[in-house]
Structure 1
Amino acid sequence: MESHGYLSFKWSNNILYVNAFGPFNDEGAKEAAEAYIKEVINKKSLSFSVVEMLDNESIGSPNTMNEVSKLWRFLGEHGCTSLGIIYSNDIQRSLAEKYLPIFGKLFSKVEDAEKWFISRDTL
Structure 2
Amino acid sequence: LKDAVQWITQAGGMAVIAHPARYKFSANEEYALFSEFKAHGGRAVEVVTGSHTAAEYVKYAVTAQEFGLAASRGSDFHSPDESHTDLGTLPYLPGGLTPVWELLAERIQ
Q: Normalising by structure 1, what TM-score?
A: 0.46
Structure 2 vs 1, CA of residues 35 and 16 (structure 1 numbering), >3 Å: closer, same or farther?
A: same
The alpha carbon displacement at 1:59 in A equals: 1.2
Structure 2 vs 1, CA of residues 53 and 87 (structure 1 numbering), >3 Å: closer, same or farther?
A: farther
Find the aligned partners of 1:121 and 1:72 in 2 and give their Cα distance: 21
Q: Flag the structure with higher strand content.
A: 1
Q: Work out whether 1:38 is the aligned partner of 2:36.
A: yes
- Per the alignment, residue 4 of structure 1 pairs with none
Find the aligned partners of 1:29 and 1:101 in 2 and give their Cα distance: 26
Preserved CA contact (<8 Å) 2:61 2:71: no
Preserved CA contact (<8 Å) 2:48 2:93: no
Structure 2 vs 1, CA of residues 61 and 55 (structure 1 numbering), >3 Å: closer, same or farther?
A: closer
Deviation track 1:37-71 (CA, whole Å, cap 9, x = no partner) reads 33213x1x4xx632639775x21352x33321210
Structure 2 vs 1, CA of residues 60 and 21 (structure 1 numbering), >3 Å: closer, same or farther?
A: same
Find the aligned partners of 2:59 and 2:65 in 1 and give their Cα distance: 10
Structure 2 vs 1, CA of residues 18 and 100 (structure 1 numbering), >3 Å: closer, same or farther?
A: farther
Find the aligned partners of 1:99 and 1:39 in 2 and give their Cα distance: 22
Q: Work out whether 1:84 is the aligned partner of 2:72.
A: yes
- Per the alignment, residue 90 of structure 2 pairs with 93
The alpha carbon displacement at 1:73 in A equals: 0.4
The letter for the 1-side match of 2:18 is N
RMSD of aligned C-alpha atoms?
4.0
- Per the alignment, residue 106 of structure 2 pairs with 120
Count of residue pairs brought into register by the alignment: 91
Q: Work out whether 1:49 is the aligned partner of 2:49.
A: no
> What fraction of aligned residue pairs are identical, expressed as a percent?
7
- Per the alignment, residue 73 of structure 1 pairs with 65
- Structure 2, unaligned runs of 5 or more: 77-84
